Structure 1
Amino acid sequence: MTASVSMPAGGVQVGSYGDYAQAQQAVDFLSDNQFPVENVQIVGTDLRSVEQVVGRLTYARAAGAGAASGAWFGLFVGLLLGIFAPDGSSWISSVLTGLVIGLVFGALFGLAGFAATRGRRDFATTGQKIVAGRYDVLCNPQVAEQAREHLARLSLRY
């Protein structure tokens, strides 16, 4: 017998929930009632990728983002070089020089990277995340009925 996405090897569905917090609450309830939770799985189904668009990306924004990341790298390099400076004024000039050079090169690389896309992606987004449409609580068949009884009591509470 082969396993499918909705029923992994040996698991039967004992509950289905709209979000992960509800599925987690169900498993926590089973654990609180001394149920052997090592027999339980939470499986997300109907997966989709979500990426939030936060704004339009322009040459100025690309240069600014590149300058910011370049400044951090330049500051790091300047601090490392400043360790070997013979006196305090040399240390400060090493840090500032690294910061300015990092800022300039970061801005240039940010502009070059944005120009290379030729307008195919002129918007900024937050990171992608995978979201499930439903979360099923699955259990070993030997203890599935016991799990259903516990979860029925949980559903009566709400």
Structure 2
Amino acid sequence: MMRMVLIGIWACVVTLGSTFGASYWKSHRGAPGEAAQHAEKLEVKKVKPITVPIISEGTLKGYISAEFAYVVEASNKGGHGGGGAPVDADSYVMDEAFRRLYADNNLDFRRIEKYDLNSLTKELTKSINQRLGGELVRETLVKSFAFVPKDDIPH
């Protein structure tokens, strides 16, 4: 009987000791490293879908339907221009995407699955940041990208 009481007391002491040790260790850990202190909160902002006409050999072949998003620091809320006033980065993303897709001679609508989306998003990010005057947009993301032939559109 005495043995059972001692085992019970021992189990309680071990449990209390490990709980105390874990809470002490968690509260007295060293200061977080500089990388953890510099961790930024990023925000993904979605823009409205765009529809880009594809014209080849002087005729309308169809449309590219694309939807993009971009990543910014949560504190920027769309970015700031040189004067500190908020800038509507959505409009810049949509405009740059439309211009790139409309003027891209490498875009083969017959083989849309082979289109280099990585190159497109990197170019978009670079040109958007140039127009905004700073490194506000961290990354441009593709949410959807499809070619719709003219014949598939109901009149």
State if a TM-score over 0.5 links the two structures.
Answer: no
Task: Tell me the TM-score normalized by structure 2.
Answer: 0.24
Task: Tell me the TM-score normalized by structure 1.
Answer: 0.23
Please identify which structure carries the higher helix content: 1
With a CA cutoff of 8 Å and minimum separation of 6, indicate the structure with the bigger relative contact order: 1
